[in-house]
Amino acid sequence: MARQISHVKAIGTVCGDINFYKDVDWGFLVRMLPGVDSKRFWKDPAFEGSRRSAERFKQGNIMSSIIYRFVPVKRRYPRLFTQVRRIAIAFLKQGSEKGEVFSALFTFLMEQKRISLTREQFDLLLSSFEEELKGRIQEQKPEKEKKMKNKLDIQVSAPLSEEEIEYFKLYMDDIEWTIKFEGEFPEDYRIPLFLLKHAV
């Protein structure tokens, strides 16, 4: 982290990972945002445990949604789906087979008197649940295009120099930005006209 020491301070993010912010104790700072890109996450051996956890979460979420649709709307409550998903993930973490996981979810919902299926109906549908799970896991999702974050809120506490004005004119076109003048300025100081459209 580095301090922002100029009379021009910023809050926001540019170029996707350069973050300007204000800390209560340290004032205005700038840092690189932490994080791992998706290519490294899926290939680096250091993230093997995280990949397994993500896969369990994905499977548990799909399995929960498959069985949850048999819970009538009037029998649902806000945290029910979350409970069902937690059970699925816990069973997957123990290494349970898919059929055992579906059975555990059905049993939980039946004991809660939430599901509209009987045991016989569940047994008949179990193989179709497993087929649907397999199909949804293999489904390829289009890769999301990562949007660059380019937004800054700028605070100016003293008159801008000619160089600073020139910088704002030439290098801020691809950034969404606002500017606020706070502080003591000479009475004859004139804010450059092109900055007024960004002033708040």
Output the pLDDT for position 141. Answer: 75
Per-residue pLDDT tens digits for 146-161: 666 789 999 999 999 9
Name the band, by pLDDT with cuts 50, 70 and 90, for residue 124.
very high
Output the pLDDT for position 85. Answer: 95
Residues 87-100: what's their mean pLDDT? 96
Percent of the chain with pLDDT over 90: 68
DSSP letter at 14?
E
Nearest to 183 by CA among 3, 10, 8, 4: 8
Per-residue pLDDT tens digits for 96-111: 999 999 999 999 999 9
CA–CA distance, 47 with 43 (Å, rounded to integer): 8
